[in-house]
Amino acid sequence: MRKVIRGSMDQQLAYKLLAGFLVLTMVGSVFAYWIIGTGDNTTQEPQTPDTDLQKYNPDLWIINEPFNSISDALRMTPVGTVSANFIDLENMPPQMIQWVRQSDQLIPQVDSLYKSNTTKMFYARLHEGENQSENNSFLLLSTMLTPRNDFEYMVESNTSILIRQENEYNGMYNILGTPIIFAPPQTAVDVLGILYGKNKTNTSHDQYEGLLSKGEPVSYQVINSNVTFAKQFYMGIGLVNGSYEKTTAYLDANSSVLKKLNQSRDNSTERGFEQYIVNQSGNYTTVKIVSPELLTVLAEETS
């Protein structure tokens, strides 16, 4: 593995988070910033495959990990996740797919990144250390409908790591498989260390394990520790038994949020909800709302 030296690069793709995710969780910024490495003099192998392998070379597809929920993704993610979202388009009803694709600015760019249709996607914003304005990074995990490696890359010597060569992605690491890893070099190396190293417990899943236990895996999930109304926040939306269900969970929610949640529950039936359950257990507050109408569920405030 080549040595990583700190540098900086301007990458537009990874700057964009879900617009709907930002609105629903009241996150103030749409940008993710990072500092990444530039290479030393380690020899790289130019990739000049034949026509067929240029579009799909099965030898490059090496990752094979569970990727069915935000919990699965966080188990592959280094410690330091500030916010993350998971989208499973394969298991969404058409109305949810329409909503996600209209509100999401990242999915079409991931489609373009691989010249294929994205089926699942996880995006995490990470930071290391106490200063959140420094040492920032990101991790993009995804799967695609038609596996392709039809893009410009070089292969890191003696590895299956692809180094992107396009101007807008230059220097980013790609490791193909289920899921596909796209990240700055050091973050990608850290993910491989989790997947193939001896210590598989030092991950972002550990940060959010208690919160994640409050919700079942669904096709749209969000976690965030950069909100003003709680230490940690979770949201999951999915179609369950013919109705749309949204579960929100809070670690150490502030008093104004708790008051608002209880007030919203009191008149929930008149507002079209089949269920509106607020449960408190220790430092955690969990809210489950159910409605036959997706827009009713989406419009309900979370803080």
Residue type at 211 in one-letter notation:
L
In a domain? residue 291: yes
Last residue of a domain, one of 206, 221, 252: 206
Residues 84 and 177 in one domain: yes
Provide mean pLDDT across the span 163-188. 96
Q: How far apart are CA 109 and CA 104, in angstroms?
A: 10
Strand partners, 174: 162, 182
Question: What is the separation of C-alpha 29 from the centre of its chain, rounded to a whole number of angstroms?
Answer: 16
Residues 146-182: b if buried by 16+ CB within 10 A, e if exposed: ebebebebebbeebbbbbbeeeebebbbbbbbbbbbb
- Cβ-based burial of 52 (10 A; exposed 0-12, middle 13-18, buried ≥19): exposed
Residues 200 and 254 in one domain: no
- Cβ-based burial of 128 (10 A; exposed 0-12, middle 13-18, buried ≥19): middle
What's the predicted TM-score (pTM) here?
Answer: 0.82
Residues 73 and 191 in one domain: yes
The whole-number pLDDT of residue 137 equals 92
The whole-number pLDDT of residue 104 equals 85
Contact of 40 with 5, CB cutoff 8 Å: yes
Q: Which domain holds residue 146?
A: 5-206
Residue 55 — very low, low, confident or very high, per pLDDT cuts 50/70/90?
confident
Residues 137 and 254 in one domain: no
pLDDT tens by residue, 218-268 = 999 999 999 999 999 999 999 999 999 999 999 999 999 999 999 999 989
Q: How far apart are CA 260 and CA 248, in angstroms?
A: 14
Residue 17 — very low, low, confident or very high, per pLDDT cuts 50/70/90?
very low
The whole-number pLDDT of residue 70 equals 98
